[in-house]
Structure 1
Amino acid sequence: MPELSVVITVMNEEENIGPLIQEIRKSLPGLDYEVIFVDDGSEDQTRQQIVAHADERIKLVELRKNYGQSTAMTAGIDHATGDYIALLDGDLQNDPADIPSMLQKLKDEDWDVVAGNRANRQDGMFLRKIPSKIANALIRRMTGVYIKDYGCTLKIFRREIAEDLGLYGELHRFIPVLAKLQGARITQVDVRHHARMFGKSKYGLNRTFKVISDLILMVFFRKYIQKPMHLFGSIGFVSLFLGVLINLYLLVLKLMGHDIWGKPLLILGLILLLGGVQLITLGILAEVNVRTYFESQNKKTYQVRKIFNGREYVKPVTVGN
């Protein structure tokens, strides 16, 4: 098995394939590596270019249609065999020459993930850089995972971390958060970034609302995935308490002979009362689902990074419940 697997997701990047493979060969001469290209439904000559430039180190995983970058990354990780896995963009904006130093840092300093930070980003200011800075700041603030550049694809993982990321939908931007949920130790290093030479970017401002939706999901995963009752129950009990207070106040008014029917306060009290009951019930059901998720799949609510056996550190063996 190779030491390093480089996973590259591509869609309609035919002009970039040849130069990218040349750069990889030039940048990784001293490493035992493989390259996993995942074609995510290309409609040009991308697949043919990969095959034309392939050697024994290069593998092509061709998906049946365009599933999106997160799913394509998952497919690449599933087919990788290396002890370490690097993610790399297929548009030549990431530089493969940064991979050896990142891998060395991960091994020497015992990190689980080394993430790239595009120090001198070569993209448009108003459509790419400014929205990205705002998004990065918002994600850091809401998740508590302090990575400067969430949008940089270039990252290197230990295999066990990459395999358990759980990349669904379009969660690739939140990879550091998903890794942190596993207890991964993450660091970041400045990496080079080049202007796109060929093809068109697949990103635009239209993904803003998707990012916000996924961010809400990540906040829930980060804080409440194992204790959903703490979220729904807390909100539910506050709502229930306010609803009871309002309705008691209205009951007193009714007993004093006042007409309370049709008052907005009565409607608000009923909404808060019923909403509180529903949220508490939802929290209980969510707790049941969490237990079903972990127990039905023999999943643990924790992960052991490594074990010292008295002589040396060893990788933990998966055990049943």
Structure 2
Amino acid sequence: MDLSIVVPLFNEEESLPELCAWIDRVCTEHQFSYEVILVDDGSTDDSWEVVTRLRANDDRIKGIRFQRNYGKSAALNEGFKAASGDVVITMDADLQDSPDEIPGLRHMILVEGFDLVSGWKKKRYDNKLTKNLPSKLFNAATRKVSSIHLHDFNCGLKAYRRKVVKSIEVYGEMHRYIPVLAKWAGFRRIGEKVVEHRARKYGVTKFGWERFVNGFLDLMSITFVGKFSKRPMHFFGLWGSLFFLVGFILTLFLLISKIADPEAHPLTNRPAFYLALTSLVIGMQLFLAGFVSELVARNAPGRNSYLIEEKSGL
């Protein structure tokens, strides 16, 4: 199968028929074999009834329905599990992503050799104050931390080689960082394509300001997990050593100064005493956190699970 098109949705009953008809028109015109996987993230409207009706008329449309709302990351993760196409394309269900971009995205994966292509909505129709400005700050921070030079990490319109989506796990709210997850998994051919951003035709946006706060917290989490999940002591041990060293030096300084001047103020009356004590305690706590994390990592089911590109003679 050429394409698997994964569409997470939440309360999008009005847009689904138009979206599926548009996808069919584009794929038929280019003679692509395809499937559309609609993942209903606990909608409270008639979205699932629409999915069921669309499925009855076209067996290329498949549906997954969550019992409650779990979030976009969970919907994408289940869609990735079900996908069987050589190229997997994700898009939002609100018609702000154009299916006309499908051929270009597919070409960049299969012909140009990218592992992942992320859309860049260069011209947007969102509110500039509440969405555009925070989005630019978010993308700048992610570029700096991840060293992946994309303009729009959070664009829902993306294309993947099938191996990519089968090698990563999207959880929490990590859908914003799928390019980062892919990079940590070893897929470094990550490209970008300018795509059309359409004004919302039906319904209202499902995202608010809190997604940017959560986004930066998730960025910190994914950076730590990507670098130190199999060697947590390298992180906690480094910072534990630094704090303990500072505390030890301050303690040594206090003892020497006390010996040199026995008539000086008591050690407990000096700010340096509390700085030394705090540094020693923090250092020991970080060491203990590192030891506990190492025990957890060494007993984790995936402690020796690695993604292998290929083997020869085995």
- The alignment's TM-score, normalised by the length of structure 1, stands at 0.90
How big is the shift at 1:292? 2.8
8 Å CA contact 1:36, 1:80 repeated in 2: yes
Other-structure match for 2:279? 272
Other-structure match for 1:158? 161
Task: Report the CA distance shift for 1:225/1:187 in structure 2 as closer, same or farther (over 3 A).
Answer: same
Q: Structure 1 residue 239 and structure 2 residue 243: aligned?
A: yes
One of 204, 212, 218 as aligned partner of 2:216: 212
How big is the shift at 1:308? 7.4
How big is the shift at 1:306? 4.3
Cα distance in 2 for residues equivalent to 1:147 and 1:233:
33
Task: Report the CA distance shift for 1:46/1:291 in structure 2 as closer, same or farther (over 3 A).
Answer: same
8 Å CA contact 1:5, 1:35 repeated in 2: yes
8 Å CA contact 1:10, 1:40 repeated in 2: yes
Q: Superposed, which structure 2 residues align to 1:93-242 within 5 Å? A: 93-184=96-187, 185-242=189-246
How big is the shift at 1:197? 0.7
Deviates more, 1:280-289 or 1:54-63: 280-289
Cα distance in 2 for residues equivalent to 1:298 and 1:261:
46
Q: Structure 1 residue 53 and structure 2 residue 57: aligned?
A: no
Other-structure match for 1:8? 7
How big is the shift at 1:307? 5.7
How big is the shift at 1:247? 0.7
Other-structure match for 1:315? none
Aligned residues: 306
Q: In the alignment, residue 12 of structure 1 is paired with which amino acid?
A: N
Q: In the alignment, residue 38 of structure 1 is paired with which amino acid?
A: V
Unaligned runs of 5+ residues in structure 2 are none
8 Å CA contact 2:87, 2:109 repeated in 1: no
> Taking every aligned residue pair, what percent have the same amino acid on both sides?
34
Q: Structure 1 residue 297 and structure 2 residue 302: aligned?
A: yes
One of 257, 275, 290 as aligned partner of 1:283: 290
How big is the shift at 1:17? 0.8
Cα distance in 2 for residues equivalent to 1:100 and 1:168:
28
One of 77, 83, 86 as aligned partner of 1:80: 83
8 Å CA contact 2:41, 2:71 repeated in 1: yes
Other-structure match for 1:312? none
Cα distance in 2 for residues equivalent to 1:299 and 1:223:
15
Other-structure match for 1:18? 17
Q: Structure 1 residue 250 and structure 2 residue 249: aligned?
A: no
SS of 1:183's equivalent in the other structure is: coil
Cα distance in 2 for residues equivalent to 1:94 and 1:106:
18
8 Å CA contact 2:230, 2:303 repeated in 1: no
Cα distance in 2 for residues equivalent to 1:254 and 1:121:
66
8 Å CA contact 1:28, 1:97 repeated in 2: no
Unaligned runs of 5+ residues in structure 1 are 310-318
